[in-house]
Amino acid sequence: GAGVSQSPRYKVAKRGQDVALRCDPISGHVSLFWYQQALGQGPEFLTYFQNEAQLDKSGLPSDRFFAERPEGSVSTLKIQRTQQEDSAVYLCASSLFPANEQFFGPGTRLTVL
Amino acid sequence: GENVEQHPSTLSVQEGDSAVIKCTYSDSASNYFPWYKQELGKRPQLIIDIRSNVGEKKDQRIAVTLNKTAKHFSLHITETQPEDSAVYFCAATPGGAGNMLTFGGGTRLMVKP
């Protein structure tokens, strides 16, 4: 079946622009995670949803970062007033239930000029 | 919070040799330890995982060992093949598989034919 998909795969933004990154989890998956992966490093947790509820946003680096999952399926990560330090790959992962393994999407590579 | 250290950062082996990657974690409450393989530009893919009630798990050429007392776990790949070349990440979480993962910094494995 279809895995986790993300769009766009690549995004170039000028500093100060707003961006929106989309994640389509595996159908029926309850849990959804966003991670940020800087070049040459491991992914770092940003935020977690269980259905439409955002249960943990402790990893969001600043109030410029906002995530939503209004209907408990597709999620959007929005970054306002992008900065160069926001350049990274943004990974989305989903799991069927809170106790199951996480499946990752291919990521969105964000480059802020 | 949890902190995961991973060593070595790069590992070069000859085809057919074994490769071992080691990780340590800080939170004694961590109970789920997955390993992900990430090829260049691709999504992280789960290759094996272990829960804290088990000391060792094996899947064909891949095995993982866990020492809860010492708070470290290791990935063992036997009979390495060129297609094993990738970046490997360990991770840990105190909340089970569906909780946010804390990743190590990654190990770039190169298998020379």
Residue B99 confidence class, pLDDT cut points 50, 70, 90? confident
From residue A107, give the alpha-carbon distance in Å to each of B32, B39, B102: 24, 13, 18
- Residues of A whose CB is below 8 A from B46: 101-103
R_g of chain A computed on alpha carbons? 13
pLDDT at position B12, please? 98
pLDDT digit string (tens) for B13-35?
999 999 999 999 999 989 899 99
- Residues of A whose CB is below 8 A from B44: 43, 91, 104
From residue A77, give the alpha-carbon distance in Å to each of A107, B1, B75, B80: 12, 24, 33, 38
Across the interface, which of B43, B46, B105 has its CB nearest the CB of A41? Answer: B105
Residue B97 confidence class, pLDDT cut points 50, 70, 90? low
Query: Which amino acid, one-letter code, is at B5?
Result: E
Query: Which amino acid, one-letter code, is at A2?
Result: A
Residues 6+ apart with CB under 8 A from A62: none
pLDDT at position A46, please? 97
Within 10 angstroms of residue B18's Cβ, the number of other Cβ atoms is 11
Does A102 contact B at CB distance below 8 Å? yes
pLDDT digit string (tens) for B45-95?
999 999 888 899 999 999 999 999 999 999 999 999 999 999 999 999 877
DSSP B44: -
- A-to-B residue pairs, Cβ atoms closer than 8 angstroms: 61
pLDDT at position A1, please? 57
A53 vs A71: CA distance, rounded Å: 9
With contact defined as beta carbons under 8 Å apart, do A18 and A76 qualify?
no
Mean pLDDT, chain A, integer: 95
Rounded to whole angstroms, the maximal C-alpha distance in chain B is 41
R_g of chain B computed on alpha carbons? 13
From residue A45, give the alpha-carbon distance in Å to each of A1, A4, A7, A35: 26, 17, 19, 4
pLDDT at position B98, please? 64
> Is the Cβ pair B103, A43 closer than 8 Å?
yes
pLDDT at position B96, please? 62
- Residues of A whose CB is below 8 A from B59: none
B77 vs B57: CA distance, rounded Å: 12
With contact defined as beta carbons under 8 Å apart, do B76 and B45 qualify?
no
Question: How far A87 CA lies from chain B's nearest CA (Å)?
Answer: 15
> Is the Cβ pair A101, B103 closer than 8 Å?
no
> Is the Cβ pair A33, B45 closer than 8 Å?
no
pLDDT at position A2, please? 81
Which secondary structure element, helix H or strand E, spans residue B84, and what is its range?
Answer: none
From the list A19, A95, A48, the residue with the least C-alpha distance to B100 is: A48
Does A57 contact B at CB distance below 8 Å? no
Across the interface, which of B43, B98, B99 has its CB nearest the CB of A104? Answer: B43
pLDDT one digit per residue (tens) for chain A, 113 residues = 589 999 999 999 999 999 999 999 999 999 999 999 999 999 999 999 999 999 999 999 999 999 999 999 999 999 999 999 999 999 999 998 877 789 999 999 999 99
> Is the Cβ pair B98, A31 closer than 8 Å?
yes
